[in-house]
Copies of this chain bind each other. A is one copy, B any other.
Amino acid sequence: MDLKPTKPLSGFIELLPAQQRCFDYCAARMQNVLRLAGFSMLDLPAIERAEVLTDKDNWDEIETQMFLFQKGDTKMGLRYDGTVGLSRYVAGHLNDLVFPFRASQFSKRYRGERAQRGRYREFYQMDLDILGINTLSTNYDAEIISVIGRALESVAEFIGPNEVRVGSRPFWDAVFDWLELTAEQKKEIFVLIDKKDKMGDEDFAEGLSDALNDASKENIIKSVFTDGYKQFVNKSEKLDAAIDELTKFMTVLDGMGVKNAVIDLSIARGLAYYTGLVFEFKLLNHPELGTAAGGGRYADLAGKFSKTKIIGVGAAIGFSRIFAAMLENNQIDLSQFEQPIDVAVLVMGDNNVAYASGVVNALRDDNITAVSYLDTEKKFKNQIEYADKICARFSMIIGDDEVKNQVVAVKNMETGEQQSLSLLDAIKLVKKVA
């Protein structure tokens, strides 16, 4: 029989134990930041009805990008983000939740498209959303940015410093209105702005020209990226409002202690549902990762589920994008994650298993990670090799003599020093060195 492949499917992440411990450690640290900020951790189904995942409008586009299947008459699929499920959940629990509701989801999402470098088909994102009924101050947009910043900061030893870039949808809406663009032109230009970073200045200029065929308007749009937004003050009420919102927002961010924020009007966030301020985090030491986290404000989160107007600001941290990529490229020093074992308990002979188990249980009861080697017929040499391989800090060797004398032979695996101690003293020794 031919052997089957042992590699996971392309685009799927699989980590070795020490890598996984680093991944889990970073997730736990970041989640702790969110918990201290009052976010409720939600764990929603990974499978949703197809009609929840998408509206008919963009079905064709999304179908090629998703994992879909049919059971009986019901078409369903794996979620591609956390927002679809959250909007359904919140709309279904309006009376069970307190608003503004702070929700976080750290969960796997799925994209069915062919895997590319850095684009996974299964990946973790860590979402933060703050949802209000009918009204929600943009102060909450700043709060989300502040909390994401603190979450990234909590693992800075691994990923380095970050920066957040803030854009504004209303600003562009106001510019487009002021330039009297058609609906189609607005859409085209917006897509260009969203892709500007990837396409380069020349292609961007060409795209503008194709869409507008009006050198003056083209230059005005280009000038946003060279001369900034201040030139647009006093052009229209809508422009003034958008600029006012953006500048006040930067002041609020500063007041919240966010010192690494800059305005960047090329930040557009492609997804259709954003309607206000938008933002993206970048890791300064890892520009190759692109966007580490991003989000923005949406005026109506759950319109297709509820007549109640749910306003929100939400963001997703690209957890796998950041950590799986770094781990797979060995960019994190894993040495501190190699040694989770405090004590290897080595058992010489089946008769001594009961005594050894008493030792193991006492260690674990005292919060000491203890692994027993229970192939008791194996030679001491094999057993101590095992203790060495799992990087145990200590071995406790249990043979007939130890049982007879009710002691344990404790070996410090680093120094090689060995002594015969009572269990109580052995535990003290392990804890002292810990």
Interface contact B137-A369, CB-CB below 8 Å: no
Quick check: is A76 within 8 A (CB to CB) of the other chain?
Answer: yes
**Chain B residues within an 8 Å CB radius of A283:** none
27 example contacts (A-B, Cβ-Cβ < 8 A) are as follows A3-B306, A4-B49, A4-B305, A6-B88, A8-B45, A9-B76, A15-B42, A16-B96, A17-B42, A20-B41, A20-B42, A24-B43, A35-B369, A37-B370, A37-B371, A38-B341, A38-B369, A45-B122, A46-B108, A47-B67, A47-B110, A69-B112, A100-B386, A132-B375, A136-B375, A139-B376, A256-B357
Q: Which of B110, B257, B370 contacts A357 (CB 8 A)?
A: B257
Quick check: is A178 within 8 A (CB to CB) of the other chain?
Answer: no
Q: Shortest CB–CB separation between residue A2 and chain B, in angstroms?
A: 9
Q: Shortest CB–CB separation between residue A202 and chain B, in angstroms?
A: 35
- In the complex, the count of this chain's copies comes to 2
**Chain B residues within an 8 Å CB radius of A358:** 257
Quick check: is A7 within 8 A (CB to CB) of the other chain?
Answer: yes
Which residue of chain B has its CB nearest to the CB of A8? B45
Given contacts A13-B45, A17-B97, A358-B257, contact A375 B38 (CB under 8 A): no
The distance in angstroms between the C-alpha atoms of A304 and B4, with both chains bound, is 6
Quick check: is A146 within 8 A (CB to CB) of the other chain?
Answer: yes
Interface contact B9-A74, CB-CB below 8 Å: yes
Which residues 379-401 in A have Cβ within 8 Å of B in the complex? 386, 389-390
Q: Which of B72, B112, B361 contacts A71 (CB 8 A)?
A: B112
Quick check: is A307 within 8 A (CB to CB) of the other chain?
Answer: yes
Which residues 130-171 in A have Cβ within 8 Å of B in the complex? 132, 135-137, 139-140, 143, 146, 150
Interface contact A4-B51, CB-CB below 8 Å: yes
Q: Shortest CB–CB separation between residue A33 and chain B, in angstroms?
A: 8
Interface contact B135-A102, CB-CB below 8 Å: no
**Chain B residues within an 8 Å CB radius of A252:** 353-354
The distance in angstroms between the C-alpha atoms of A40 and B72, with both chains bound, is 39
Contact with B along A88-107 (1 / 0, CB 8 A): 11011100111010100000
**Chain B residues within an 8 Å CB radius of A137:** 350, 374-377
Given contacts A23-B43, A38-B370, A48-B9, contact A69 B67 (CB under 8 A): yes
Q: Shortest CB–CB separation between residue A146 and chain B, in angstroms?
A: 7
Q: Shortest CB–CB separation between residue A30 and chain B, in angstroms?
A: 13
Which residues 394-414 in A have Cβ within 8 Å of B in the complex? none
Contact with B along A254-286 (1 / 0, CB 8 A): 111100000000000000000000000000000
